[in-house]
Amino acid sequence: MKVALNEQAIAKLKEIREIAAKFGVACDQLIQILTPGQAPPVAPAPKPTFSIADELKKKLDPALFNLLTITESQGVTIVKPKAFLGTDNFIKLAAAVRELGGEYVSAGKESHFKVTRKS
C-alpha cells in the first residue's frame, strides 16, 4: 500500500534522516572515546592567565591607577602608591585589592598592598 505524502511531510522525513545520521556519527565517536585503550589522549585545559595589574586597571579609575607602581614577581604582586593617595583613593584601592584576594601591609614608608596569585 502506497501513501501519498505532501511536500511538508517529505521535508520533515529528510530532516529526521539528517538528524539520525548526525546521531550515528556522534554514537560512533562516543564508542571510540569510551573503548578502553583506544581513546585519543586529552590535553589538560590551559590555566587562565591574568595579570593583577590588568585586573586593577579594570577596577580603578585611570587617574588613580596612574598613581601606582605595580611590580609582579613569582606570583606576588606589590602595589605601592607613587604619592599620598588621600582617604577616598586609599579606600578604593584597598577594596579593589581585597576583591583580588590581596591585603594591605603596613610598614611605615615601605607600606604597600600585596596580592598573591593562587595556583
Distance separating alpha carbons of residues 86 and 52, to the nearest angstrom: 22
11 and 32 co-located in one domain: yes
Structural domain containing residue 107: 52-116
Across the chain, where does the E strand assignment appear?
Answer: 68-73, 76-81, 103-105, 112-116
User: For residue 36, what pLDDT is reported?
Assistant: 67
Q: Which three cell numbers stand for residue 50?
A: 591574568
Q: What is the pLDDT of residue 79?
A: 94
Residue 47 lies in a domain: no
**The three cell numbers locating residue 78:** 606589590
Sheet strands side by side (includes 68-73) = 68-73, 76-81, 112-116, 103-105
CATH number of the structural domain spanning residue 98: 3.30.1360
- Whether residue 1 sits in one domain with residue 38: yes
Higher pLDDT, 22 or 78: 78
Span 88-97, pLDDT tens digits: 999 999 999 9
pLDDT at 94: 93
Instruction: Fill in the amino acid letter for 31.
Output: I
Answering whether pTM is above 0.85, one says no
Q: How many domains does the chain have?
A: 2
